Amino acid sequence: MRKDTKGVIFIGDGMGGRPMAELDGTTTLEAQDTPALDRMAREGACGLMDPIAPGIPAGSDTAHMAILGYDPHRYYRGRGPFEAKGVGIDVMPGDVAFRCNFSTVEGRKVVDRRAGRIKEGTDQLTAAIHEQIPTIEDVEIIFEPSVEHRAALVLRGPGLSHEITEVDPHDPGVDYLESRPEEGAEDPEGAAKTARILNEFVRRAHEALDDHPVNEQRREAGEPPANIVLPRGAGTAVDLQPLHERYGLSAAMIVEVDLVRGLGQYLDMDVIHVDGATGGQDTDEIAIARAVVAALESHDFVLANIKCPDLGGHDGDCRAKMEAIAKVDRAVAHLLDNVDFSRTTVMITADHCTPCSVQDHSGDAVPIAFYGRGVRPDDVDSYGERACATGIMGHLRGMEIMDALTNMMGRAEKFGA
Ligand code: ZN
Ligand code: ZN
């Protein structure tokens, strides 16, 4: 088996789509001029991929899990643990984790879910929570702030479950909710305990924050006080084998989404920060591509993701999505010019489709192309939904990608004698 070959999975987030009447019946990927992506398809091995399974709209988190070879049906227990890992909490198996907002309430009514996008003072508010709510019953309370109004909460103790209903009503102008065990929970006792502790946490956080000096100042300045913490998206932390152990590949991740970054940290990948990678339309795609080239110097495997195609899809804005796809293409052009393809295999994909006509993720398959070392080229001559459907890789699932890639890298283990 080779030990000196490299692999890259390069993802345009939500880049796949459906035909649009306003684009003469083509998709955004087909309508946009993409010379670099097309070259990879023309000289590479193409196909389609169902991130999870046919017809299942994938979240970015579950899609990335599957593409990295971890079955989300088995391992996904909510996004909370990835969020918590993303803000630096050392999540342990059995923990129940949440993402949270500092919010503004009057009585039980949610006035502002983001507390005026509070920029300063959440450190002091967090300190008050640490001091006043270290534990509830036999459960340790771990709470850390992230950017602006965002934060993460971890409950650590025996007998907890994520099968509980939300506290955050997700809409302003209505009361926040009491968490309860989900109907049909597999562990009703654990769910009852977790809901009770979560409700108590929310009550005591409100007590700790309402009259806090930071909020007195905010009221005086006419800003909404950050006088409660509203958790959402409960998830149970599971034990995931680190990626380098699973595949024997030293691995790096270069992504713009906290949630996926948290997954990378969870899998013990080196999560690389890139200056200029904003996660928006203004992201510096060349800085991201340079970071991939640099990471290949010291790693066997790199997963990279450019977020912006997904944004245009959610907004139903074809033109914005096409501009974002052009960015992905420029990043891929940089890879074509700077990667040693005699020993590197690059796979191009989307993590799911975000069609402008749906304005959300759909369950359609995405086009894929493998380029470089070990590929068997086919007759596909451009990168797109229609063109790639005739390619040699046929129709794969996300869970099969790492096997296909490591085979081309010459690093797949023989099954049998
Ligand atoms: Zn995505
Ligand atoms: Zn999305």
- CA–centroid distance, 351 to ligand 2, in Å, is 9
pLDDT of res. 163: 94
Helices 308-315 and 318-338 pack at an angle, to 10 degrees, of 170
DSSP character for 32?
Answer: S
- Region of 276 (left: φ > 0; alpha: ψ -120 to 50; beta: rest) is left
Total number of residues shown for the chain: 417
pLDDT of res. 127: 98
Q: Taking residues 243-251, what's their average pLDDT?
A: 97
Q: Do the Cβ atoms of 235 and 96 come closer than 8 Å? A: yes
pLDDT of res. 386: 98
Q: Is the pLDDT of residue 1 over 80?
A: no
pTM, full prediction: 0.89
Residue ranges of alpha helices (H) inside 32-116 are 35-43, 60-67, 72-75, 80-86
pLDDT tier at 383 (50, 70, 90 boundaries)? very high
**φ/ψ of residue 13, rounded to 5:** -60, 125
- CA–centroid distance, 362 to ligand 2, in Å, is 10
pLDDT tier at 143 (50, 70, 90 boundaries)? very high
Q: Is the pLDDT of residue 16 over 90?
A: yes
Q: Residue 230 to residues 218, 313, 319: CA-CA distances in angstroms?
A: 19, 28, 36
pLDDT of res. 128: 98
Q: What SS3 state is found at 136?
A: strand
Who contacts 43 (Cβ-Cβ below 8 Å, separation ≥6)? 371, 377
- 134 pairs with which residues across the strands? none
pLDDT of res. 23: 97
Residue-wise pLDDT for 249-287, tens only, equals 999 999 998 889 999 999 999 999 999 999 999 999 999
Mean pLDDT, rounded, of the chain: 96
Residue ranges of alpha helices (H) inside 87-150 are 122-132
Q: Do the Cβ atoms of 350 and 307 come closer than 8 Å? A: no
pLDDT of res. 61: 94
Q: Is the pLDDT of residue 241 over 80?
A: yes
pLDDT of res. 86: 84
- CA–centroid distance, 292 to ligand 1, in Å, is 19
Rg (alpha carbons) of the chain, rounded to whole number: 23
- CA–centroid distance, 13 to ligand 1, in Å, is 5
- 231 pairs with which residues across the strands? 100
- CA–centroid distance, 41 to ligand 2, in Å, is 25
pLDDT of res. 259: 84
Instruction: Out of 3.40.720.10, 3.20.20.70, 3.10.450.50, 2.40.128.50, select the CATH number for domain 6-77+239-409.
Output: 3.40.720.10
- CA–centroid distance, 154 to ligand 2, in Å, is 25
What's the CA gap between 186 and 194, in Å, rounded?
A: 13
What's the CA gap between 197 and 234, in Å, rounded?
A: 13
- CA–centroid distance, 58 to ligand 1, in Å, is 8
The residue ranges of every structural domain in the chain are: 6-77+239-409, 89-235
pLDDT of res. 258: 81
- Other Cβ atoms within 10 Å of 219 Cβ, number: 11
pLDDT of res. 67: 98
Q: Taking residues 121-135, what's their average pLDDT?
A: 97
What's the CA gap between 319 and 32, in Å, rounded?
A: 9
For residue 58, which ligand has an atom nearest its CA?
1
Who contacts 141 (Cβ-Cβ below 8 Å, separation ≥6)? 129, 133, 134, 135, 153, 154, 155, 201
pLDDT of res. 237: 92
Residue-wise pLDDT for 148-195, tens only, equals 899 999 999 999 999 999 999 988 899 999 999 999 999 999 999 999
pLDDT tier at 290 (50, 70, 90 boundaries)? very high
Around ion ligand 2, residues with a beta carbon closer than 5 Å are 310
> Token pair of 124, please?
């002091």
What's the CA gap between 10 and 303, in Å, rounded?
A: 6
Q: Taking residues 128-156, what's their average pLDDT?
A: 96
Supply angle C-alpha 53, 319, 369, rounded to 5: 40
> Token pair of 67, please?
């593409």
Query: How much of the chain, in percent, has pLDDT values that exceed 70?
Result: 100
pLDDT of res. 78: 87
Residue-wise pLDDT for 401-416, tens only, equals 999 999 999 999 999 9
- CA–centroid distance, 305 to ligand 1, in Å, is 9
In the block, tokens 């850390």 appear at 144
Residue-wise pLDDT for 338-372, tens only, equals 999 999 999 999 999 999 999 999 999 999 999 99
β-strands 366-372, 45-50 pairing:
antiparallel
Around ion ligand 1, residues with a beta carbon closer than 5 Å are 13-14, 60, 351
Q: Residue 49 to residues 226, 349, 352: CA-CA distances in angstroms?
A: 44, 8, 9
- Region of 244 (left: φ > 0; alpha: ψ -120 to 50; beta: rest) is alpha
Closest CA to 266 of 83, 402, 138: 83
pLDDT of res. 2: 76
pLDDT of res. 87: 86
